[in-house]
Chains A and B, each alone.
Chain A
Amino acid sequence: MPKNQNIHTIAVIGSGPIIVGQAAEFDYSGSQACLSLREEGYRVVLINSNPATIMTDDDIADKIYLEPLTLDSVSAILEKERPDALLPTLGGQTGLNLAVALDDAGVLARLHIQLLGTGLATIHQAEDRQEFKQLMETLHQPVPESLTVHDLPAALQFAQRCGYPVIVRPAFTLGGTGGGIAHNEAELKKIGQRGLELSPNTECLIEKSIAGYKEIEFEVMRDAAGTTISVCCMENLDPVGIHTGDSIVVAPNQTLDDPTFQRLRAASLQIVSALNIQGGCNVQLAQDPASDQYYIIEVNPRVSRSSALASKATGYPIAKIAAKIAVGLTLQEIQNPVTKTTFAAFEPTLDYVVAKLPRFPFDKFVTADRHLGTQMKATGEVMGIGTTLEEALLKAVQSLELDAQMQTTLLPKTTPSHAELVAALEHPTDLRLFYLFEALHQGWSLEEIQAHTQITLFFLHKLQHIWATLVGLQTGTLTAAKAVAANQLGFTAKMIAQAADTTAEVVAALLPAPVYKMVDTCAGEFASQTPYFYATAFPGENESQPLGNSILVIGSGPIRIGQGVEFDYTTVHCVQAIQTAGYHAIIVNNNPETVSTDFSISDKLYFEPLTTESVMQIIDLEQPLGVIVQFGGQTAINLTKSLVANGVKILGTSLAGINQTEDRHEFEALLAQLHINQPKGDTAMNLQEARQIAPVVGYPVMVRPSFVLGGRAMAIVHNEAELAEYVQKAIAAAPHQPILIDHDVQGMECEVDILSDGQDVFIPGIMEHLEGAGVHSGDSIAIFPPQHLTAAQQDQIIATATAIGKAVHCVGMMNVQFIVADQLYVIDVNPRASRTVPFMSKVTGYHLAKLATNLILGKTLADLQLPIGCAKAPAGVAIKAPVFSFTKLPGMATGLAPEMKSTGETIGLAATYPQAMQKALFDSYHCTLPQAGDILVCSAEPAAPLKAQLTQAGITIQVFAGTPPTAKPWAVLNLDAHQNTASPLNYYALSHQVPLFTSTATISGLLAV
């Protein structure tokens, strides 16, 4: 079928700021789809409010709107652009909901905008519980029986009829709180009652439980001609009951025999055909391990996190193909971009195994409930590729950047009691993989483990194989044969050394170099040129030939709090600049959700753990001209020292320069030498030292560990009584590293990114933070250009940043953070691209990461026609505002503090400061600027200055008395020092979609707009 010639301009809606459950995968799918549409000759208009994305780059679409994703805002853009069509299935649930809203509001009909791909009726049919149930009945596809109830007798009656166990899902509670599985009448009475009480409208869904079934997913593609294929089948190691985004997932399916597999595949294809999907669709199924019975769990009629994973697992670019289907092309006419000799109408086949592990934020959100259930909690994920499941799984473990000890020993950090272990297996948390190893360590039989976890024995056999190998290494002397055998199962030299009580160097000498195999969609059946490789320690043919004239770029790994999609953005830009400069660019990364791990981005992609061992193996093979570490966040910076020790040439700022900014003492010396103020501070190695230092630097003090990300375990301590708790946390976060104790200076926080060629410094602009230094810069509202700084203050910031850049001989870029108080203080320097790079690049028009890459490659500022000093700010104002995922993570602390909490960011761009702020608030705090007559519900009487400000603005203050307010307030302000999502005021706000603020500074700043 030829492509649609009646349309010329296609609008695409992005997924907006990153939240738990809707992350970088939509930047990947969105940017691939936009490029795919442009490849077919269409003009693409893109709307997304998330500046930290590749999809909002100049060369992804013909026209880009960094505007709020609200009905009004998007309607106005469509009104202006008059696209012929809208493609709604690429922007996650946000994009889909907006398309529905536009249709409901009649905007699409009025502007004669045609919807491409899967239609809205289909989307409704797939997403509406009742309609979906009916469709499944028509198709004779089984779904678990369920009933919506408003009282307990109805629940009991249902359970009696359909049989126990049943799942209780209370309606509209935060993150599904209050739900649970009832195995008998007594339990249902208890859980059902609780669920009904917690639900704001006394409503629960009672569903026949299929917990413990195997959870299987199919990624299906279908075109307008009706050709329907399964791109990938994935099997969750965790049985039904844990959200697939939080599950350990392997591809392809491992434990289904052909009849079972074909039955589930046929069911998936039948549903996708009946829904008349045109594009990609995800089907989730549950398979009874003991019979042929299966159930359909749900259908997602759009590209998703699973489709991103399937794309990276198979090499088959689902989003790219889905976009082509949307404009009328059929799978049979679309070339397979991997082989370039075959077509998209086939089913990829793998000759390797993929394991995906979720990355959770609980290392930072220590108070959040770590239990896994039907509400997704992970912020990111990693993928390991190997030729055995053991190898794939251990590579994924190595990629987690979670905890070096756990990643090496595979055991939890503290030994659980029997009861704790049973609880950890029956009610799994993010650490379940390590608890499974603990059970093996404690000598549990696989049958016992299975009885507590319902995990299919095949997977437990694999874990047992790993564990037995580890025990084998611990016993007797280490032979080369033992080391090699363990290595082939994915054990790193470091793990082997730890187990055998020797050094990694000794082990490394015993191990042959790994070989690299290609991911080609077809298991070698056809010749492919895909530059997408993974390592295996299994001996055989190495397929990766060194590129020569290459530069290796270290990616940023899984998305986590403090290291998000912005580093994928900088990595991709770095690669593009390297290529433009005439070198081959090689990427190493392990995050399947990202643009940087699309094989078409670089000259070669190594999908590998970001460890010294894995990276050095690649360097040994490729012999690149150098390695760039400035764009992969702290992950890449942390590798610098060991790479240099291995003789690797780091391009850009030298290790010495990096150390000058990262090492506390060197940094102090540097600032002292440059006569730059720094909040008074010192380092302690233990609590005793901390107790002596704190009064000397003066309370309040900021306590934080060195060499960690995003303000992890960082806190402001007001007195000695609080000190012990936070010092212990800091020690736990970074054992054997010094703890930094600084006087907490009250003032305005500012930051700059600087670009330097080692001689001179260019500064694209100064960002001013609405909140003070006590709030992590990633959680602050950032304003550009500054609205409250005097010219003299700005000059001093520029001069100071320039002096630091010159002194450390920065080559490439750095980020410098300041406090403007009685005088100017420097609080932090990051010797790398920072979180603000995409924002500032988009706002100023300077492609900072690309320019920095050119500087790293030897260009001067003059070569790049960059001025020395600060650039002139463009007209208008830009605001970057944080986005939180509190509703997804019950129990997490909510108060803004030095430890970062936001998961994403949004941008507000406008001619004036108030307009820009208003736009930024739409997709961040989801509110308007406060107006006279608004109500603000506070946890306590606000302090006098804020109270005066509120009164003057005509805003009514209500002090929360424990019961929900009668009228819907503009927002909630919780000022309690210790608060979390379960605090009554916050619970009210989060479950009633009332904006939640926790910093006086934010409210005060907004009132002053």
Chain B
Amino acid sequence: MKKYLYLQDGTHFEGIAFGADTEIAGEVVFNTSMVGYQEALTDPSYANQLLTFTYPLIGTYGIDLAQNQSTGVLAQAAMVHTLENEPGPDGLTLDAFLKQYHVPGIHSVDTRALTKHIRQSHTMQAVLLNAPLTSDFDTTYQQLFAQCKKHPQLGHSTYPAKPHAGTTPHVVMIDFGTKKAIIDSLTDFGCEVTVVPYTADLAMIKNLHPDGILLSNGPGDPADYDVLPLIQALEHLYPTAGICLGHQILALANGAKTQPMAYGHRGINHPVHAADSLHAIITSQNHGYMVDPASLTNTDLVVTALEGDDGTIEGLAHKWLPMFSVQYHPEANPGPHDALGFFTQFKQLMEKKVAAHA
């Protein structure tokens, strides 16, 4: 069966359908990683995005459900050059996995041409159809998007710390659509984690007696989240850290601005270095918005890390509050484990406060 991809600017691609036979709408983006397709597809930050993989062979080692980063496939669609039907450890293929989660895919697409188009014309809206587009794009997009818009299921549960030398701080994670790996990393580092939705109120969070607050990753425009008063209150009360969208929201809460990027950073090969250092690490990234450097001027934020190629802000810290954040994904999954130091740093931040209280 054929499948049809139409972009907002009129460009279209034809390919072959796989996964679910549904039609969807969303924002078209590309990811340059050569491994970790499953982690990406289940990353809630990809919610409402049609995910193009630049690496041509996707599905080469199947699916291992234990690696899911959330309760489902949050990406709207998988768009690949060649679909591989290799089974995972339990016999599950990518195709079957997408069918199971009602997510459509398209293969036999010149994904390099599509990627270059996104690079040149920037991230834009798209629809993925089972038949050629007959009505106008905007109408189709709006109709479809209204039906298929996804909201990450937000957590509200507690995870015990795993055996680890040292303290066992209690982290309350403000969930905007977190990846499972962030929770796993925190518990691996000996933290007890309580996940609460970003809609939780201050009193409820206070009642949990956190040693620290972590703002998770999540999809979309950080400015769309109505949480700044809560965050402002929390960062004055507890050591606070943010990852990806959490970083952007912390920036907003401290008076900075965010802005959309041309085509974002989505891959696992992004160099990041401390603002004053020649030592870089390679990081996993997935963001389409960034903190506007000019907007930091009258804030109490300082830039702690930058992307090596385009100089995007990759890390912020507060001048006097125990708060810091990173734009990249230290929890990896997918991606390199070069940035795990983030969790050590967060733990140290909480321990200092714990020590101060004692």
Query: Which residues of A are interface residues toward B (Cβ below 8 A)?
Result: 1, 225-227, 229-230, 252-259, 261-262, 265-266, 269, 330-333, 341-343, 345-353, 387-389, 457-458, 461, 517, 522-527, 538-541
Q: How far is the CA of A230 from the CA of B115 in the complex (A)?
A: 23
Proximity bits, B167-203, A CB within 8 Å = 1, else 0: 0000000000000000000000000000000000000
Q: How far is the CA of A343 from the CA of B269 in the complex (A)?
A: 12
Nearest-Cβ distance from residue A388 to partner chain B, whole angstroms: 5
Q: How far is the CA of A259 from the CA of B39 in the complex (A)?
A: 10
Contact A227 B309 (CB under 8 A): no
Interface size on B, residues (CB 8 A): 50
Contact B336 A525 (CB under 8 A): no
Nearest-Cβ distance from residue B91 to partner chain A, whole angstroms: 12
Q: CB-nearest residue of chain B relative to A349?
A: B32
Q: Which 8 A-B pairs have the closest CB atoms?
A: A540-B110, A258-B36, A523-B54, A347-B269, A541-B113, A258-B334, A225-B278, A524-B115
Residues of A within 8 Å of B337, CB to CB, are 262, 266
Residues of A within 8 Å of B309, CB to CB, are 341-343, 346, 526
Nearest-Cβ distance from residue A71 to partner chain B, whole angstroms: 38
Residues of B within 8 Å of A262, CB to CB, are 332, 334-337
Nearest-Cβ distance from residue B93 to partner chain A, whole angstroms: 12
CB within 8 Å for A525 and B67 given contacts A253-B35, A262-B335: no
CB within 8 Å for A330 and B82 given contacts A388-B57, A517-B112, A525-B119: no
Residues of A within 8 Å of B81, CB to CB, are 351, 387, 538
Proximity bits, B316-337, A CB within 8 Å = 1, else 0: 0000000000000000111111
5 contacts between A and B (CB under 8 A): A255-B86, A258-B39, A342-B309, A343-B309, A351-B56
Contact A258 B56 (CB under 8 A): no
Q: How far is the CA of A225 from the CA of B32 in the complex (A)?
A: 27
Contact B86 A343 (CB under 8 A): no
CB within 8 Å for A350 and B82 given contacts A227-B280, A258-B35: no
Residues of A within 8 Å of B342, CB to CB, are none
Residues of A within 8 Å of B270, CB to CB, are 346
Residues of B within 8 Å of A333, CB to CB, are 278
Contact B308 A345 (CB under 8 A): yes
Residues of A within 8 Å of B86, CB to CB, are 255, 457-458, 461
CB within 8 Å for A256 and B35 given contacts A331-B280, A332-B273: yes
Nearest-Cβ distance from residue A372 to partner chain B, whole angstroms: 25
User: Taking the complex as formed, is B60 at the interface, i.e. its CB lies under 8 A from any CB of chain A?
Assistant: yes
Please tell me which one of the listed residues A348, A351, A389 contacts residue B112 in the complex, with CB atoms under 8 A apart: A351
Contact B56 A343 (CB under 8 A): no
Nearest-Cβ distance from residue A458 to partner chain B, whole angstroms: 5
CB within 8 Å for A330 and B278 given contacts A257-B64, A343-B309, A345-B308: yes
Residues of A within 8 Å of B67, CB to CB, are 257-259
User: Taking the complex as formed, is B282 at the interface, i.e. its CB lies under 8 A from any CB of chain A?
Assistant: yes
Q: How far is the CA of A226 from the CA of B274 in the complex (A)?
A: 13
Q: CB-nearest residue of chain A relative to B310?
A: A342
Name the residue among B34, B110, B332 with the largest chain A CB count within 10 angstroms.
Answer: B34
Contact A252 B60 (CB under 8 A): no
Contact A351 B55 (CB under 8 A): yes
Nearest-Cβ distance from residue A787 to partner chain B, whole angstroms: 58
Residues of A within 8 Å of B278, CB to CB, are 1, 225, 227, 330, 332-333
- Apart from A262-B336, A349-B54, A523-B54, list 7 A-B contacts with CB within 8 A: A252-B34, A253-B35, A346-B271, A346-B309, A351-B115, A352-B56, A387-B82
Nearest-Cβ distance from residue B271 to partner chain A, whole angstroms: 4
User: Taking the complex as formed, is B111 at the interface, i.e. its CB lies under 8 A from any CB of chain A?
Assistant: yes
CB within 8 Å for A349 and B115 given contacts A332-B278, A541-B110: no
Q: How far is the CA of A258 from the CA of B64 in the complex (A)?
A: 11
User: Taking the complex as formed, is B267 at the interface, i.e. its CB lies under 8 A from any CB of chain A?
Assistant: yes
Proximity bits, B114-136, A CB within 8 Å = 1, else 0: 01100100000000000000000
Q: CB-nearest residue of chain B relative to A257?
A: B61
Contact B279 A458 (CB under 8 A): no
Residues of B within 8 Å of A256, CB to CB, are 35, 61
Contact B115 A343 (CB under 8 A): no
Q: How far is the CA of A957 from the CA of B35 in the complex (A)?
A: 65
User: Taking the complex as formed, is B33 at the interface, i.e. its CB lies under 8 A from any CB of chain A?
Assistant: yes
Q: CB-nearest residue of chain A relative to B110?
A: A540
Residues of A within 8 Å of B110, CB to CB, are 538-541
Q: CB-nearest residue of chain B relative to A462?
A: B84
Contact B36 A332 (CB under 8 A): no
CB within 8 Å for A525 and B334 given contacts A257-B64, A541-B110: no
Nearest-Cβ distance from residue A792 to partner chain B, whole angstroms: 66
Residues of A within 8 Å of B277, CB to CB, are 225
Q: How far is the CA of A77 from the CA of B119 in the complex (A)?
A: 53
Q: How far is the CA of A351 from the CA of B34 in the complex (A)?
A: 8
Contact A349 B271 (CB under 8 A): no
Contact B57 A345 (CB under 8 A): no
Q: How far is the CA of A54 from the CA of B61 in the complex (A)?
A: 42
Q: CB-nearest residue of chain A relative to B88?
A: A257
Q: How far is the CA of A885 from the CA of B280 in the complex (A)?
A: 43
Name the residue among A229, A345, A348, A522 with the largest chain B CB count within 10 angstroms.
Answer: A345
Contact B34 A345 (CB under 8 A): no
Nearest-Cβ distance from residue B233 to partner chain A, whole angstroms: 37
Contact A229 B32 (CB under 8 A): no
Residues of A within 8 Å of B334, CB to CB, are 258, 262
Nearest-Cβ distance from residue A235 to partner chain B, whole angstroms: 10
Nearest-Cβ distance from residue A250 to partner chain B, whole angstroms: 10
Contact A458 B271 (CB under 8 A): no
Q: How far is the CA of A177 from the CA of B32 in the complex (A)?
A: 45
Residues of B within 8 Å of A332, CB to CB, are 271, 273, 278, 280, 308
Nearest-Cβ distance from residue B55 to partner chain A, whole angstroms: 6
Residues of B within 8 Å of A342, CB to CB, are 308-309
Q: How far is the CA of A457 from the CA of B84 in the complex (A)?
A: 12
Q: CB-nearest residue of chain B relative to A329?
A: B278
Q: How far is the CA of A768 from the CA of B67 in the complex (A)?
A: 69
Nearest-Cβ distance from residue B29 to partner chain A, whole angstroms: 12
Contact A226 B279 (CB under 8 A): yes
Nearest-Cβ distance from residue B311 to partner chain A, whole angstroms: 11
Q: How far is the CA of A212 from the CA of B281 in the complex (A)?
A: 33
Contact A255 B60 (CB under 8 A): yes
Contact B61 A255 (CB under 8 A): yes
Residues of B within 8 Å of A266, CB to CB, are 336-337
Contact B269 A348 (CB under 8 A): yes
Q: How far is the CA of A389 from the CA of B113 in the complex (A)?
A: 19
Q: CB-nearest residue of chain B relative to A265?
A: B336
Contact A389 B279 (CB under 8 A): no
Which residues in chain B, 22-78, are within 8 Å of chain A measured between CB atoms? Answer: 30, 32-36, 38-39, 54-57, 60-61, 64, 67
